[in-house]
Structure 1
């Protein structure tokens, strides 16, 4: 029997050399080309080798030749190219070599917490816009890189599935399939017979409502991956009332948590809904004993235990952390008003009188008939005060259209609410509630039906006229925002309103902005479009410098908007303060390049619907946010909110007064605000306790420095790209601090040009930076950020490394060279070494914790300095001296071709003998690496897998640079 070579060995197969990687399948050899990436991985079935069908032979890393003419710049290019192609870096954070984002330092705090527990059970409750998605996926990617998990599942609301799939693919290089009702058919056709759709695909994003259904729940539980992320976890807490859907979601999570080996991450910016039992139900998913905690009376031990599982930070806690400023924008909130025109006021007063009569007569009814009167009244008023278009859509018969859903006597308030109230726990239903109005119409006489038809006629007569002062004022506000350099989003409640506002803005802005108004691009994006269509329309809009996005709340979650939009206008006030924060959070979040964003609350001064919502809900929410620094959810459910609005509008005013202030009963208001303030105080205490201040920034700094030294930080990427482009004939021009123009890119080799964006490939010019620039000017398009995983950077690094290893005489970064310099007192040799380490742990977590040794491969590229060659004593330079020599080296005198060859031949001939003095250096690196892994897993849990690290011998000699001192009397 032929034994397979050891992990980390170099072998020759199929006409080229490869590095043997750990394989998830014991009968398959997993191979990676010496200079290739993961796209070129190759698997060879071991029985084919044993039968002689495939040939796999031991090989050695090819030594460089003494013909190279590298200078210091070329040697540094080769060093950076080699480390920028690393994926399994030897640092303590193994995942960083496999992701396309540069996490902010504070985003490593949940990762360190996770690495110190087994299984991982955490509630990440950081503020909106801080980056919970990055934090969660960083944990998942790290456990994958460590071999402790194999598969990932994300459970989220259906409208967030595509967003999660994109984040997994684009930022973490984890292709995932979306499993929900609309995607199951094609996926099942690709699933082998007898296999579960939940078990066949490595990484899955699943609609929590699809998984919780009676039809799919058992199948999901049986085949669910071992690592589960639950987004918007507050929607799966045990509800206080009888909300069936939320109870089913919570039961699903309880069943998942019963597996003691399952990793579970819960994400929410609003973990506490105001009902303590619901919050404890989430905590109990982390540890069953948390279900009995008295959250108002935690002792020191309980607080410490809960803090191991809960991280909850405001922006103020992370904006300056580890010496790094995270450029969150400053939010400027303003209020703008309009007055109803006499014509619109007449429509409102007639509709209000009709609605109030509906509610009054409904008090004599019972059950469903009473409820439908109330719902019809709310629906009518909400649509009429949204826009004439929404009023028409609600008042015209829509029962048989695709937008309407007929109600029946068995329907609960939970079925009505989404058409009027903006739930923050489900996707917004943005169609006008015509079916609710029509259902109410069935319960009234013919004269009342005629009145409804007259309302529709009056609404149509107001459409597009200056009698609609709301749209007139909105157009003025938008013109002002555009003039100040903002790119606004106009948030509307209903599809009809969104389309109407977009149409009117296209007509009015050229008049308000003479000269540039005709250049403004305005589009409407609503739930009438598919998710792909929404994304395409937004992407198309971002290509216009002057742009306005009009949208319903279908976009308030699920599509990143902060890179291209800098202001929001609330055309329709949401009846849910949580939705107000979600809307503004689309632009006010990490990744927003503008220093300031603007939020405009537009309301009618004599509109009692706006008045009730403002005074009871929105202003209180804003006051709490200003005081606390985060949003606190309204501590009642949607039915209670709408009951309060109903009371405010119809039961506690004697006439159809159009005053701004239209209060609820004092006791109701006082009780709601008292509960809300109590929640805010509790939230303040919670965020103080669980902001993880005890996890010191220097702990994160030390591990980041270790990892950056191996993989390269943004400054290393910058040096490599700028020097590499110039070496290949491109032109580099600085524009301002941190921003460069790359020009003449058409001279680059074809494989590098293929990685350019299409427009850059055509123009040959590119505006780039290497770290996100805070406080970018709003009127500018931000430059492209080039990180180590950008396709262009990857292609550039691979080109330099492959050309060097191929031994091409015209390689831009040859593997060998000699430089004469006064920087060294005697001959010094800089070796560019690629070191491989085997990380071995005795716990087979990826196989379910059943034991056995798990071996991982880790690599790093080091610049090692030597003075002296065997048989003379050899001194290995310590610390940063070799790298400093390389990065600051300048040739000061010529070297003849003969001297160059002789010096290089002498070093290469001594390579085998040099390995003995190099071994202590490599073993010291292995010990330091093992210590780093022990540090990040520091915890009381003895079951945490901490690897033993041993070097794989020999290291790869990538390059040699000989530094010769300048003899006395030689001119420099």
Structure 2
């Protein structure tokens, strides 16, 4: 950056084009970036000094005048407007003024850990629903606002791209573009030859599947931004072809020792030791040694790892006294019986499936595998619904060729992969989202046609005991006020259920969301349900990860049991997560008590996983050896003949496969215990974090301050908020025309439904400190405050820059001065330095002849928020104000001393939370003087009014 003209440093005041401006960073000797004194971010402009007709001059901020006096109730409005306008607020963190979410204290732990590292390398492995997206994006926003990085990319599975783009834009004001196969060509089209879209677009969300190919991977590594977030990082470990490419991509990015890397996953250890230590090796190659080191030699590496690895479960959050952020989850199981014609059909399909397997014995590998997968597909689909069974029966299974040449051999491999994806639920680090019914037709026969006809005839509550039990259960859930999501495995089942449920619950809105829809269409369909007071969502597992449902739904019903316990946790995590307003959520598993498929899955897989989770406090991934154990278990289901099965006796009934799974579970449990011991964390505790959190909240204001300001501002401007259930309605047509125009420019007009708490009430918009409504109101009132017009004593709108009142909150005459302090923060890293500007609104007070001291937010609220005890005559008010204004020159030294002390406190804050930066650079802070006196208020004790007047 070019040398700055001294008087035009960031934070200094200048006069140009007939008005006063604040100089912002990114200014240099010839070009100034300016913001109007009372304006907002949208009013910023660039001034090229050589072309200005009138030279830009230094300016001073005007002091309040008696003419700007208003009634006492308008005094705190000025402080609130100033505080909520701050974007470059002082305090320990640079980013808090630029985010549209109020982080919980426990979510600051990864941020503080990151700031203690010279190069951020962090694995955030918090439980499902705790808020990893917020934690990761908060680190990125902080590094951007500290000037340590200029570019950012998020690498994620393709179905999460839009969600990340929306989170970055709406919550962190980072306008990122999505880069994947259907957007990359368009983004690159307008670039000059040789340019990279990652230079042209500093903030990107990139599909892992798009960027992992060798050709794209090498180009990306050359131009990759210096800060990278990887979501679902467990899918990028070294196993399988697709994941091998992902791992090589991340390994190449991590090879740059200066690149910041934040890995996010709820399942860092998916049962594969090699994969887990590969993940740790991305943080630091030395961490892979932990796998083989004897216990006595691990302490140093464990200590080092604890600075890069944070993993919290729900119980870990309890110490933060923040458990109110999570609901209580109540789980239940309900059963149905395979009775009558439905039971007969199930037995007929099971018998046919067994015949398929037995018929292929002794035949070639192709016939054996095709018949086996066809049989398993029938089992899975008939257990789901008649509609899924019909689709499986009438869809011909894609033929698998086996031959001597490589291309034919590969086709069998592809067949196995597709069949596995559609029938099973995938491996821990690659759970299937394919919800198309698997083909099961391998022949044309009368028996097959008869089975199809029987299945089609059984659709409906009368003949379908599973559907009947679901409707019975949903009736109770809706009666108790819950909003349910029903998860099933296949598309046909979802549509079958949606039609039946809409017929049953005519007053509810029922919608099916499946993989037939694009991610955008799925999201839109879910949002449409929000318009209904009673709603039921039927979804396949295309919604079990990616789209958050906590704002609209409070119960999960597993209509089809997943064959992987992690999928159950993901489904429930859609509603039981950070931001769920309900104090209780429900989770229900529905299964057939005499269905051998459900029995095997429930007893051998799901209940075992739950018992281990209760014992260890963590969900241990299923030890499935790439699906081989599940296939063996289902083979036992297929081949067993005899009496009806009881779910309680599966281990005995299924012999060796069930015993193998049980042994694998025991091994996985012991490994989980061992790993929890190895990686026991020296976590940051509440006492390490809460002071920093409170400091930032005090400087910038939170939800309570936003609600108070917007409520009072809209009321003063003629459009008081109207309470509606759990939120408010704002009629913008009653606001002054200039305010309406500004809001319309932000897309806000007509009747607005707003809420000041997260998550917002249904149909309402969350109004946070960075929301355009707050900015427009604050800008409007500040402009009014800086207008030196005459006093308005009619009790109407406007903000007080000066005032005097009788209050009962003070024993002596007390003068309160509201200051805006601007500070220049220099951040130096190596050969580069960056000049930033910090602003804060500070209230100071002097009682009687005492010197001025800084007020805490609580003290400020007590003084400026106090109600006037009685009216003060205008002449007396003006005399008191003028007397204090006359004394302002004598107080200047005291006020500047306070500003310098604030600068040193800011320097200490920055050095403390970014202690690792000391090894790479330094911070310097200086106050921009003189300080701005925004407001001056004289408070007289009510009881001593006569004495005070005499004084």
Could you tell me the TM-score, scaled by structure 1's length? Answer: 0.88
* 1:863 alignment counterpart: 843
Distance in 2 between residues matched to 1:206 and 1:682, nearest whole Å: 34
Whole-angstrom CA distance in 2 between matches of 1:341 and 1:25: 81
417, 422, 426: which one pairs with 2:425? 422
Q: CA deviation at 1:161?
A: 0.9
**For each residue in 1:405-461, what CA deviation from the matched residue of structure 2 results, as whole angstroms up to 9, or x when unmatched?**
x99435253333221122364574444345x435xx1xx5x5xx4432332222222
SS at match of 1:863: strand
Shift of 1:720: 2.4
**Aligned in 2, Cα 1:190/1:32: closer, same or farther, shift over 3 Å?**
farther
* Equivalent-residue separation in structure 1 for 2:460 and 2:108 (angstroms): 52
Residue 695 to residue 431, structure 1, CA distance change in 2 (3 Å) = closer
- What is aligned with 1:917? 894
Which range is displaced more, 665-674 or 754-763?
Answer: 754-763
Indicate the residue corresponding to 1:276 in structure 2.
273
**Are 2:306 and 2:683, in contact at CA under 8 Å, matched by a contact in 1?**
no
Distance 1:146 1:835 in 2: 19
**TM-aligned CA distance change 1:684 to 1:103, over 3 Å:** farther
Select the residue among 331, 334, 337 that pairs with 2:335. Answer: 337
Once the two structures are superposed, residues 715-756 of structure 1 have per-residue CA deviations (whole angstroms, 9 ceiling, x without a partner) of: 3233323333443445568899xx675677754335656759
Match of 1:307 in 2: 306
Report the equivalent of 1:800.
781
Distance 1:562 1:797, change over 3 A: same
Counterpart in the other structure of 1:649: 637
Q: Please point out which of 377, 380, 384 is paired with 2:378.
A: 380
Which residue of the partner structure matches residue 777 of structure 1? none
Does 1:413 find its partner at 2:416?
Answer: yes
Please, which moves more after superposition, 683-692 or 377-386?
A: 683-692
> Structure 1: 5+ residue runs without aligned partners?
401-405, 510-517, 774-779, 844-849
Alpha-carbon distance between aligned partners in 2 of 1:768 and 1:654, rounded to the nearest angstrom: 60
Q: TM-score scaled by structure 2?
A: 0.90
Q: For residues 116 and 340 of structure 1, do their structure 2 counterparts lie closer, same or farther at Cα, with a shift above 3 Å needed?
A: same
Q: Is the 8 A contact 2:555 2:586 kept in 1?
A: yes
- How far apart in 2 are the matches of 1:119 and 1:508? 58
Point out where structure 2 has 5 or more consecutive residues left out of the alignment: 399-407
- What is the match of residue 805 of structure 2? 819
Give distance in 1, aligned partners of 2:92 and 2:738: 33
Shifted more, 745-754 versus 927-936: the winner is 745-754
Which of 922, 926, 932 aligns to 2:903? It is: 926
Task: Report the counterpart of residue 112 of structure 2 in structure 1.
Answer: 112
Q: Which region of structure 1 is more displaced relative to structure 2, 629-638 or 147-156? A: 629-638
Q: CA–CA distance in 2 between the matches of 1:326 and 1:946?
A: 40
Distance in 1, matches of 2:880 and 2:68, equals 11
CA distance in 2, matches of 1:153, 1:24: 27
The equivalent residue for 1:697 is 686
Q: Distance in 2 between matches of 1:330 and 1:822?
A: 45
Match of 2:351 among 342, 350, 353: 353
- Inter-partner Cα distance in structure 1 for 2:323 and 2:57: 52
- Cα-to-partner distance string for 1:119-177 (whole Å, 9 max, x where unaligned): 10011111111111111111111111101111111111111111111110111111111
- More divergent stretch after superposition (203-212 vs 744-753): 744-753
Name the structure 1 match of 2:716. 727
Deviation (angstroms), 1:859: 0.7
- RMSD of aligned alpha carbons: 3.2
Q: Give per-residue Cα distances to partners, 1:192-211, cap 9 Å, x unaligned.
A: 44322233211111111111
What is residue 287 of structure 2 aligned with on the other side?
A: 290
Alpha-carbon offset, residue 659 of structure 1: 4.6
CA contact (8 A) 2:129 2:578 kept: yes
> Partner of 1:749 in structure 2?
736
- Cα distance in 2 for partners of 1:14, 1:398 equals 76
Residues 60-93 of structure 1, C-alpha deviation per residue, up to 9 Å, x if partnerless?
3233332123233311110011010000110111
Cα distance change, pair 729–684 in 1 and its aligned pair in 2 (3 A): farther
- Alpha-carbon contact 2:842-2:855 (below 8 Å) kept: no
State the alpha-carbon separation in 2 of the partners of residues 743 and 527 from structure 1.
38
Question: Of the candidates 496, 501, 504, which is equivalent to residue 500 of structure 1?
Answer: 496
Q: Which residue of 2 aligns with 1:968?
A: 946
**Alpha-carbon spacing, 1:2–1:644, altered in 2? closer, same or farther (3 Å):** closer
What is the deviation of 1:235? Answer: 0.8
Alignment equivalent of 2:46, drawn from 43, 48, 51: 43
Question: Which residue matches 1:840?
Answer: 826
Q: Distance in 2 between matches of 1:529 and 1:808?
A: 59
CA contact (8 A) 1:326 1:590 kept: no
- The Cα of 1:704 is off from its aligned counterpart by 1.7
Equivalent residue runs for 1:588-667 within 5 Å: 588-651=576-639, 653-655=640-642, 657-660=644-647, 661-663=649-651, 665-667=654-656
CA contact (8 A) 1:18 1:33 kept: yes
Aligned-partner Cα distance in 2 for 1:757–1:57: 32
| Alpha-carbon distance in 1 for matches of 2:618, 2:745 | 38
CA 1:683–1:544: 2 relative to 1, 3 Å: same
Q: Report the counterpart of residue 261 of structure 2 in structure 1.
A: 264
Q: Distance in 2 between matches of 1:763 and 1:839?
A: 42
Q: Distance in 1 between matches of 2:691 and 2:642?
A: 69
Q: What's the CA shift for 1:285? A: 0.3
2:147 and 2:827 in contact (8 A); partners too: no
Superposed displacement of residue 328, structure 1 = 1.0
**Take 1:592 and 1:26, find their aligned partners in 2: how far apart are those partners?**
51
Q: Tell me what 1:552 maps to.
A: 540
